[in-house]
Amino acid sequence: MDAVDRQIVALLVEDARRSYGEIGRQVALSAPAVKRRVDRLRASGAIEGFTAILDHAALGAGTEALVELFFAPGTLLDEVTERLKLHPEVVEAWSVTGDADAIARVRVTDARDLERLIMALQRDGSVVRTRSQIVLSRLVVRGQAER
């Protein structure tokens, strides 16, 4: 990946709907040359895809929280992954080191909705305990300009 590729990626991160012609004007390449570079970046896995940036509050999910998950002994990570995928409120989840076994980033309507989700996650017994933090504000956002 050279300096021009990095410029192209930065422009796409800023606005993935930019045309190849517009990008080409900013990096001094033709539209077909930009397309070839983007195709190469996609083929290499450097660009995984393109997405819409959502304003979750406008969609009714104005509360964001981080939920630490503590699993019952013997719970397999694959099982938890599949259960988390059943809840659309879970927008990301990671297995982690430290006290918790995993952390889920969730988007819910309010504290009551967060409580409902936590109870649902604990219902089958694989998650025996949770610890949550509600996000008050975003201080730094890199890469995705998610709201």
More confident residue, 68 or 57: 68
What per-residue confidence (pLDDT) applies to 87?
Answer: 95
B/e letters for 22-42, b = 16+ CB within 10 Å, e = fewer, are ebbeebebeeeebbebbeebe
At 78-106, the pLDDT tens digits run: 998 999 999 999 999 999 999 999 999 99
List phi, psi (to 5°) of 63: -110, 125
The pLDDT, as a whole number, for residue 25 is: 96
* pLDDT of the residue at 144: 58
**Model confidence, pTM:** 0.72
> Which domains are assigned to the chain?
3-44 (1.10.10.10), 63-134 (3.30.70.920)
